[in-house]
Amino acid sequence: MAVKTEKKTPAKGTDKKIQDKKTLVIVESPAKAKTIEKYLGPSYSVKASMGHLIDLPKSRLAVDVVHDFEPEYITVRGRAKLLKELQDDAKKAGVVLLASDNDREGEAIAWHLRNAISAKTGAVPIQRISFNEITPLAIMSAVANPSGIDEAKVNAQKARRVLDRLVGYNLSPLLWKKVKNGLSAGRVQSVALRLICEREKEVESFIPEEYWTLEADFKAGKTTFTAQLVLWQDRKPELRSEAEVNAIKDQLSGTDCEVVDVRELEKTVRPKPPFTTSQLQQTAANRLGFTSKKTMQIAQQLYEGVNVGDSRVGLITYMRTDSVRISALALEDVRAWIGKQFPDELPDRPLEYALSKKAQDAHEAIRPTYTAYTPDEVKEYLSRDQLRLYTIIWERFVSSQMKNAKTKTVSADIQAGEGIFRVAGTQIIEKGFYKALKLLTSKEEKGNPYPNLKKGDHIRLDVFHPEQHFTQGPARYTDASIVKTLEERGIGRPSTYAPIISVLLERFYVTRSNRQLVPTQLGKIICDMLVEYFPHVVDAAFTASMESKLDEVEESHIRWPDMIREFYDPFKDRVDEVGKTLESFKGSLDEETGYTCEKCGKPLVKKLGRFGYFLACSGFPECRNTRSIPLAKCPRCGGDVVARKTRGRGKEFYGCTNYPECDFISHFKPINQKCPNCGNFMVEKYDKKNGSHKACINPDCDYLHSEDGEDIPDVE
């Protein structure tokens, strides 16, 4: 598909003399500049600001808490040269168009650039342009219809920046003074950390319980199928042991079986709306295994532009949005495409989706800019990850404007003695929007076959399939589930979900394990202190209310200094009170251990470091010996089990400190729980079928039996 470029229109309010000069367009990124420059041609110069050039300094608070919290802005260190270049370019230009992103951060960037350029040039007209997609039509329309800076949006960004600065620059020094140097606390990140820590407590306190299920193979003529026991003696079976299962098997062996009920249920399946930011991050995490950060990085590339044949085009619309709204032009485009490719699945009128109550609706939903750019059309121009993300965006958008699908589920109940076995199958009877899905195919579309049974049929029970299970505790948060929770609770906004997770990982308050977010010991300590002394700050409902107030600032309903003052005065009083009354934790986190340094003979103490607890010599700095913390007692020799790493890839495992005399190893991390049956330590295991679960390390123990590999890796 060829991209048509429209006739270039000069910005409104320009005279002949100004038109003789180039128009300077300032965007945020070089990739975006490269795409837009191809559309605008030689009479335009497109430069990139590379994000914020002016911001608060890092070295001090830089907020006047007495005079309406006025921020003290400076040129970001290392960015003065770039700012001067943009100012010099602006002097030579006829008009300056500020084309940063159409959100709070983008508006603030444009505001700072306008002020900095005006201070040096004075007479050059400076205008704001915004667009939701980087296509020739959208860019030309934006250039032809410039506007002024949205001061209310700038104020909302300023309020958020000042609010976060006040929290961080008051809490962080308190943590340095009372807990440990180098710590930091953020307003929204601390709430997310609290959610993760509270979930971890639920995970750690959960004790699995054994239960069994019973399936059986039945034969109806030449057909064999499997059904599950769903009722026993008119109640749902609660099978707690193999003995209970065997007792049922004994009663049912040789029993005549009859189909006593057959039910059919038709269901209408409505397509899902196009993606919002949070939904894209969740789906990319669940379907593609992407972290939130990776999803947004790739989406940014697709938005800013890629080379497709001889054209350079932004393939998707702006990727930070909480709206499912679609423009009239986009609806016309996708309906025309569906009408050609799937005419039977085109609804009579466009489908509409309700906005959530918290959606700001500043942008459209995330969608492809051109429906004709199907994944197959562009796959040779994209990397594997770009193609996969683009595919789910394209499929979700196109399917959202197609007819409903219909499924039929047939289930049959089979009487076997005092038990009822059930078999069910689902088939699609009208594909509808499923015709557009490949990568996003659901379980419903795949369906499962159903045996041809009629009420009154007599069938034969062939083979039993008992299976042991263990109850699953609450699942740790993943990128997908924490984003979903943050969105549901109104914490953060589309632009902040990925940074929230990234900050927690960078500070080592949280680590990733099997895609799960696990708080570190350091993260737990920080969380516990904030919850005890600043419960208001880390309260999810309070943080959500602050987000709502920031929205009110953007809507010009309240003054941002008033909003900050309402929060800051009681917060600062509390910080001062805690600073005076709270005893320092410094040194108290160091614990005597009873271990002796093998190098100098002095006691080893347990210390908290950036990556968690470790053993260190009390003779520091003269002796710098350190060791790993013992996690459990070796079940073979009684030595200490510690974390070790293999050579090469550095994969972590857990082995006895008496190696090579004792060759015990475990590939699963010991946890602070003993097996109630044999007293050996428990480990945390993970597999795709059961997720995270606990198991006894003793292979001879029948409580949550665990099999460990016996191969001993090369140890560093």
pLDDT digits (tens, 9 = 90+) for 119-131: 988 789 999 999 9
Find out whether 156 and 551 touch, Cβ atoms under 8 Å.
yes
| pLDDT at 687 (0 to 100) | 66
Distance between CA 553 and CA 282 in Å, rounded? 29
Domains of the chain: 16-149 (3.40.50.140), 165-205+478-581 (1.10.460.10), 211-255+406-411+424-467 (2.70.20.10), 277-399 (1.10.290.10), 591-696 (no CATH)
d(CA 618, CA 590): 10
- The Cα–Cα gap between 261 and 368 comes to 48
- In this predicted structure, what is the pLDDT of residue 588? 57
What are the pLDDT digits (tens) for 483-530? Answer: 999 999 999 888 889 999 999 998 889 998 888 999 988 899 889 989
Distances (CA, A) of 69 to 161, 548, 608: 11, 20, 37
Put the strands of the sheet holding 126-128 in their side by side order: 44-48, 23-27, 95-98, 126-128
Confidence tier at 704 by pLDDT (50, 70, 90): low
CB 96 within 8 A of CB 24: yes
Q: Determine the Cα–Cα distance for residues 482 and 287; give it in Å rounded to an integer.
A: 16
Would you place residue 610 in the very low, low, confident or very high pLDDT band (cuts 50, 70, 90)? low
Quote the DSSP letter at residue 96. E
**Above 80 in pLDDT, residue 84?**
yes
Neighbouring C-alpha atoms within 13 Å toward the C-beta of 393 = 31
* pLDDT confidence of residue 706: 40
Which pLDDT does position 629 carry in this prediction? 80
pLDDT recorded at residue 212: 95
Residues in the chain: 716
pLDDT > 50? residue 632: yes
pLDDT class for 436, splitting at 50, 70, 90?
A: very high
**What percent of the chain clears pLDDT 90, i.e. is strictly above it?**
63
User: With 60 as the cut, is the pLDDT of residue 361 above it?
Assistant: no
Q: Which pLDDT score is estimated for 598?
A: 85
Task: State the pLDDT at residue 613.
Answer: 75
| The CA-based dihedral angle spanning residues 447, 451, 455, 460, taken in that order and rounded to the nearest 10 degrees | -140
Does residue 78 surpass a pLDDT of 60?
Answer: yes
Does the pLDDT at position 81 exceed 70? yes
pLDDT confidence of residue 620: 85
State how far the Cα of 54 lies from the Cα of 112, in Å rounded to an integer. Answer: 6
pLDDT of residue 355: 77
Residue 318 a catalytic site member: yes
Say how many Å lie between the first and final Cα of the chain, rounded: 57
The amino acid that residue 327 corresponds to is S
Average pLDDT, the chain: 88
Q: Rounded mean pLDDT of 181-199?
A: 90
What is the pLDDT, as a whole number, of residue 715?
Answer: 35
How confident is the model at residue 507, as a pLDDT? 86
Q: Which of 44, 303, 318, 703 is catalytic?
A: 318
Retrieve residue 676's tokens.
């109630």
pLDDT at 594 over 90: no
E strand or H helix at 226: strand 223-232
**Res 395: pLDDT:** 97
Query: Considering only 128-142, 556-570, 667-681, which range has the smallest mean pLDDT?
Result: 667-681
Residue 425 and residue 408 in contact, taking contact as beta carbons nearer than 8 Å: no
Tell me the pLDDT tens digit for each residue of 324-351: 999 999 999 999 999 999 999 999 999 9
Rg (CA), the chain: 31
Q: What is the pLDDT of residue 156?
A: 95
| Rounded Cα distance, 305 and 36, in Å | 9
CA atoms of 91 and 74, how far apart (whole Å):
22
Residue 182 sits at the vertex; the CA angle it makes with 177 and 186, to the nearest 5 degrees, is: 90
Question: Dihedral (C-alpha) 225, 229, 230, 233: value to the nearest 10 degrees?
Answer: 140
**Mean pLDDT along residues 572-595:** 78
